[in-house]
Chains A and B, each alone.
Chain A
């Protein structure tokens, strides 16, 4: 039911892990099926220089997390905020309709991590 791209990212997920001294962390739960995803980001000169994730969820959730980190890596904060679930799914060669909600999770977690980073930055000022 999944594309080869999805299976590839599921079998060999990129950027798995945690960043202990992350500049921003975002955790979101999937309200639809109850899954969980955390993204960690490291920011330098307004660019995402490192991203790591951990996911508790289905194959699509794992693959979309992995793809999201790939898409966002090296992007500016503004560019990364524009990544949508449609981008993620498209880059994975499509997802079954029932799995589209999982790709939401990945983009949301990334955006939450960025917001967390921005909040922390504000607080430091």
Chain B
């Protein structure tokens, strides 16, 4: 029987706002609109709200002092401030940066930009499951290395990196360590002190906060400099009048994430594994991309031979299911996802990848529904494909 359910499983691309976050933000639009830099009372209210949010974000990542948190306009800006700030400020010490082949496109493009300015960048490869090889990171270190930048977890294939180990390595070699935790923050516990992290990028929307807000943790004493000049807000590291409602929202989102991470993480891991096993068991020639266990609780990246991701997305959308893909046909550049290529997939394999990123409102019934719909969509597209071997069509 035909039934249409709405199943949104693209939380990696965008998350709804948590209603409790929305409630927390509301007064800061029309009531407490004062500028935190002003001395009168409504300015003070805003200033206190900023301080409270800073504290909540600090607690989420176990920062020692809330002054180590700088608010930005989002994950991309945090990555820019972290990498460029450290690179420019430490130019005299060296010009070498180590990162990985699977970083978020913002990190890759920042590094490419710096390469044009005379910085040297090593992109350390990953294994088939997307894990960075520690030995290769170590081998890449030179006298001139000033920064190591590795993501906490990959938002596309879900793989979580050995961050503490890399942090230790960086510390032993007195190299600044930046971690892009946009995909991980709020989903897995992060401890910047124990993991020897120097800078850590977070985004608000990736934990049910508003879009357009992010934060950068900068460990006290880290040599860096601003990339935006202006009135000296955020201890001079990020000028511009603060986005007070947004920051309040991010603070609330961080508080909720910290409180609910454990139970929600368990719940999502259950759904994730049900989806993964369900697909692998019922659809021939389907595979899991990324690490089977060291992965984000809400991420399932699956690949289907002989078919293409955009047509899979369209086929699922007709049934109310919204997901994304790393296929060349869905990208602006018409290149397959660099992450899928980095884990060793051929172009046509990368083509057939689907990314499911689940969230709070996804229930077990949603997974059941996907498992009910997906095999038929795959089958239909395989029947259309010249690559499909005859024997699997029956």
Please give the residue numbers on chain A whose beta carbons come within 8 Å of chain B beta carbons, in ascending order: 2, 7, 10-11, 13, 16, 27, 32-38, 54-59, 61-62, 98, 101-102
* Bound Cα distance from A44 to B349, whole angstroms: 39
A-B contact count (CB 8 A): 61
Asked if B227 is at the interface of the complex by the 8 Å CB criterion, the answer is no
* Bound Cα distance from A54 to B393, whole angstroms: 14
Return the contact of A57 from the options B329, B336, B383 (Cβ within 8 A).
B329
Chain B residue at minimum C-beta to C-beta distance from A11:
B318
Determine if B311 and A16 form an interchain contact, defined as CB atoms under 8 angstroms apart.
no
A36: chain B residues within 8 A (beta carbon) = 386-387
Please give the residue numbers on chain B whose beta carbons come within 8 Å of chain A beta carbons, in ascending order: 306-308, 310-311, 314, 318, 327-330, 332, 334, 336, 347-348, 351, 383-387
Interface centre among B328, B351, B386 (most CB of A within 10 A): B386
Report, nearest first, the 4 A-B pairs whose CB atoms are least far apart.
A58-B329, A58-B310, A54-B386, A33-B328
* Bound Cα distance from A108 to B45, whole angstroms: 66
Determine if B332 and A35 form an interchain contact, defined as CB atoms under 8 angstroms apart.
no
B308: chain A residues within 8 A (beta carbon) = 35, 56-58, 61
A101: chain B residues within 8 A (beta carbon) = 334
Determine if A38 and B334 form an interchain contact, defined as CB atoms under 8 angstroms apart.
no
B348: chain A residues within 8 A (beta carbon) = 34, 56
A58: chain B residues within 8 A (beta carbon) = 308, 310-311, 327, 329-330
A35: chain B residues within 8 A (beta carbon) = 308, 329, 351
Determine if B329 and A62 form an interchain contact, defined as CB atoms under 8 angstroms apart.
no
Chain B residue at minimum C-beta to C-beta distance from A13:
B384
B358 to chain A minimum Cβ distance, whole angstroms, is 24
* Bound Cα distance from A46 to B311, whole angstroms: 35
Chain B residue at minimum C-beta to C-beta distance from A55:
B384
A32 to chain B minimum Cβ distance, whole angstroms, is 5
Given contacts A10-B314, A38-B386, A57-B329, 9 further A-B contacts (CB under 8 A): A2-B314, A16-B384, A33-B334, A54-B384, A56-B308, A56-B385, A57-B311, A59-B311, A61-B311
